[in-house]
Structure 1
Amino acid sequence: MNVLQWLLDSDPSVRWQALRDLAGAPADVVAAERARVATEGWGARLLALRGEDGQWAGGAYFPAQGGDADAGGGPREAPDDGSQPWTATTYSLLQLRDFGIDPADAQMRRTVALVRENCRWEEGGQPYFSGEVEPCINGMTVGLGAYFDQDVDGVVARLLREQLDDGGWNCWAEYGAVVSSAATTINVLEGLLAHEQATGGSAETLKARRRGEEYVLERRLFRRKRTGEVIDPAWLEFSFPTRWYYDVLRALDYFRSTGELPDPRVAEAVELLRSKKQRDGTWLLENTHAGETHFELEEGDGRSSRWNTLRALRVLRWYDNGVSP
Structure 2
Amino acid sequence: MSDSLTAWLLDSDPALRWQVERDLVGESPEVWEATRASIATEGFGARLLALQEPDGQWAGGAFFPAGFDGTEEGQPWIATTWSLNSLREWGLDSTVLRGTAAKLAENSRWEYENLPYWGGEVDVCINSWTLSNGLWLGADVQGIVDWFVEHRLPDGGWNCEWVEGSTRSSFHSTLNALKGLLDYDNATGGTDATREARRSGEEYLLERNLFRRLSTGDPVAPWAVRFSYPFRWFYDVLNAAEYFRLAGAMPDPRMTEAIELVRAARQPDGTWLQGRRHPGRVWFEVDVPAGEPSKWVTVYATRVLNWWDGL
TM-score by length of 1: 0.92
- The aligned residue for residue 16 of structure 1 is 18
- The aligned residue for residue 101 of structure 1 is 92
* 1:48 maps onto 2:50 in alignment: yes
Deviation at 1:150, TM superposition (A): 2.2
Q: For 2:292, give the aligned amino acid.
A: R
2: CA distance between counterparts of 1:65 and 1:121? 14
Matched ranges for 1:236-251 at <5 A? 236-251=225-240
Q: Deviations over 1:236-255 (max 9, x none)?
A: 10111111111111101111
SS of 1:117's equivalent in the other structure is: helix
Deviation at 1:31, TM superposition (A): 1.2
Q: Which runs of 4+ in 1 moved over 4 A?
A: none
- The aligned residue for residue 64 of structure 1 is 66
Deviation at 1:221, TM superposition (A): 0.5
Give the one of 121, 132, 147 matched to 1:158: 147
Q: Deviations over 1:150-173 (max 9, x none)?
A: 221100101111100000101111
- The aligned residue for residue 183 of structure 2 is 194
More deviation in 138-147 or 91-100?
138-147
More deviation in 49-58 or 202-211?
49-58
Is residue 54–residue 115 contact of structure 1 (8 Å, CA) maintained in 2?
yes
SS of 2:67's equivalent in the other structure is: helix
Is residue 101–residue 134 contact of structure 2 (8 Å, CA) maintained in 1?
no
* 1:90 maps onto 2:81 in alignment: yes
Count of aligned positions: 309
Give the direction of change, closer, same or farther, for the CA distance of 1:182–1:53 in structure 2 (3 Å limit). same
Give the one of 99, 102, 106 matched to 1:117: 106
- The aligned residue for residue 74 of structure 1 is none
2: CA distance between counterparts of 1:5 and 1:147? 31
2: CA distance between counterparts of 1:32 and 1:115? 29
Q: For 2:90, give the aligned amino acid.
A: F
Give the one of 244, 248, 259 matched to 1:259: 248
Deviation at 1:118, TM superposition (A): 1.6
- Give the CA RMSD over aligned residues: 1.4
2: CA distance between counterparts of 1:4 and 1:195? 33
* 1:214 maps onto 2:216 in alignment: no
2: CA distance between counterparts of 1:111 and 1:194? 19
More deviation in 262-271 or 185-194?
262-271
2: CA distance between counterparts of 1:112 and 1:290? 29
Q: Deviations over 1:82-122 (max 9, x none)?
A: x11111001111111121111123xx223343223321111
Name stretches of at least 5 consecutive residues in structure 2 with no aligned partner: none
- The aligned residue for residue 76 of structure 1 is none
Name stretches of at least 5 consecutive residues in structure 1 with no aligned partner: 72-78
Is residue 57–residue 88 contact of structure 1 (8 Å, CA) maintained in 2?
yes
Q: For 1:306, give the aligned amino acid.
A: K
Is residue 100–residue 137 contact of structure 2 (8 Å, CA) maintained in 1?
no
Deviation at 1:123, TM superposition (A): 1.0
Deviation at 1:3, TM superposition (A): 1.6
- The aligned residue for residue 29 of structure 2 is 27
1: CA distance between counterparts of 2:238 and 2:105? 32
2: CA distance between counterparts of 1:249 and 1:115? 32
Q: Deviations over 1:226-285 (max 9, x none)?
A: 321000111110111111111111101111110222322111111000111011111111
Deviation at 1:210, TM superposition (A): 0.4
- The aligned residue for residue 156 of structure 2 is 167
Is residue 187–residue 244 contact of structure 1 (8 Å, CA) maintained in 2?
yes
SS of 2:208's equivalent in the other structure is: coil
Is residue 60–residue 119 contact of structure 1 (8 Å, CA) maintained in 2?
yes
